[in-house]
A and B are shown apart, each in its own frame.
Chain A
Amino acid sequence: GENVEQHPSTLSVQEGDSAVIKCTYSDSASNYFPWYKQELGKRPQLIIDIRSNVGEKKDQRIAVTLNKTAKHFSLHITETQPEDSAVYFCAASINRGSTLGRLYFGRGTQLTVWP
């Protein structure tokens, strides 16, 4: 099956700085890559996603890039704010047969933004 690796496991930045979280995947058939944000005690929330026919997607202060050749994708958060502090999970989905829709998650990155 698919294997998703996520780095770093923890990330601390100063308010206003940028944060970058990187993920790699193993199966070239993966074609959907979402990112989730999970605040303490809450459910994971989908914040942005990208499909394999797109190289970059941006939504205000967050952006995701995808390099299909290298099989890696990244989350970029600019002008970080204390409320960005949370655990972020990347995931990949393989569009094939009975596993359609199943997500393979990275282990998560604890982002802390210091005021």
Chain B
Amino acid sequence: QQQVKQSPQSLIVQKGGIPIINCAYENTAFDYFPWYQQFPGKGPALLIAIRPDVSEKKEGRFTISFNKSAKQFSLHIMDSQPGDSATYFCAACQGAQKLVFGQGTRLTINP
């Protein structure tokens, strides 16, 4: 019930392409869904986040789509760049600071 399932594990996209990372959850009590980006040797950094009463949120080239009935949410990166190559984690939070993370997606953007 506390799991967040993330796919794919790894993804290779050409520069300018639109990588899509998907996450699914079971616990309907989750009320906050952030995405984190992690570069090697660094801690995760918040990229974008959404509440379940919103179906889509855009910040720059990053978009979260949220489907409450399906208990799924996804990250789209528009006009991807080699600098976007990193590991991406979806997460879910319920009422406090306890983040439940997906397993991560290693994204590579080829020039």
A binds B: no
Q: Which residues of B contact A (CB under 8 A)?
A: none
Which A residues fall within an 8 A CB radius of B?
Answer: none
